Amino acid sequence: MELDLLSIAAHPDDTELTCGGTIIKMAEAGYKVGLLDLTAGESGTRGSAAQREKEAAKASRVMGIAHRENLGLPDAAIENVRDYKLRLAQKIRDLRPRTVILPYWEGRHPDHYTTGRLGYEACFLAGLAKLPLEGRPHRPYKIIYASFYVPAVRPTFVVDITAQLGKKLKAILCYSSQFSPRQDLQNLFPARADLRERVGSLARHFGLMVGVRYGEPFVTREVAAVDDIVAMPVRSI
């Protein structure tokens, strides 16, 4: 399989929460989009691995993606070690994505930021011909980082997801095990009634940065090239 876009995330529902609108938009545009969850979320406070697998399958159908699988690494124990990097590099060779989305390299959950670092190094290793991996070497052309839940970080660019926000929320709500029926005092598991407001307010914040209603932010390590400065989007004043 050769994917146009692959989102690599630590847990089922991470992609939906951080960049689900962009995933949906790219799938609607005709790109072959895949998701790779590194763990089954079995150590999470809510839900079981089996339940979250069913929820992920349902969310995948909502998003219209071409492929989804789970690498089977231990939840709450993702480490940037060679064995995990090689296993992930093998998947990158198998799926051959042109663009990869990774979690931002800083955050609250160690699995999230470790996945960002692990994913970057695996993308590099997948292109080394002499490593003990099957298939032809492959390196993604572009690596971008989803920073939706890191609002203090200035995005490199924002994707307009105004038309996709409703479907993004529908995909997130497939993970019924992760949301409270009422307000949660710990504030880690939002009530279903509050989800639209939480996700919508963040998406509105990023959308305003580029003059649209709802957006999802991304960061790149490299500088972008511009051919036509007269036609550049987003007003300055």
pLDDT tens digit sequence for 32-67: 999 999 999 887 667 688 999 999 999 999 999 999
Span 58-79, average pLDDT: 97
User: DSSP alpha helices (H): ranges in the chain?
Assistant: 14-28, 49-63, 82-95, 110-125, 165-172, 192-209
The pLDDT mean for the chain works out to: 93
Contact 131, 125 (CB under 8 A): yes
Token pair belonging to 136: 């032809």
Whose CA is closest to 216, among 181, 186, 172, 183? 172
Q: What pLDDT score does 43 carry?
A: 76
Q: How confident is the model at residue 126 (pLDDT cuts 50, 70, 90)?
A: very high
Token pair belonging to 171: 């995909």
CA contacts within 13 A on the Cβ side of 208: 6
CA pair distance 63, 130, nearest whole angstrom:
37
Q: Nearest 5°: phi and psi at 55?
A: -65, -40
Domains, the chain = 5-219 (3.40.50.10320)
pLDDT(170) > 80: yes
Q: How confident is the model at residue 181 (pLDDT cuts 50, 70, 90)?
A: low
Q: How confident is the model at residue 214 (pLDDT cuts 50, 70, 90)?
A: very high
Span 167-194, average pLDDT: 75
Span 106-134, average pLDDT: 96
Q: Which residues pair with 172 in a beta bridge?
A: none
The alpha carbon of residue 104 and the mean position of all alpha carbons in its chain are separated, in whole angstroms, by: 9
Q: What pLDDT score does 45 carry?
A: 63
Q: What pLDDT score does 195 carry?
A: 83
Radius of gyration of the chain (CA): 18
Sheet holding 99-103, edge to edge: 67-70, 33-37, 5-9, 99-103, 142-146, 215-219, 157-160
- Virtual torsion, Cα 27, 7, 112, 153, nearest 10 deg: -70
Collapsing DSSP to helix, strand or coil, 9 comes out as strand
pLDDT(183) > 60: no
Residue 171, amino acid: A
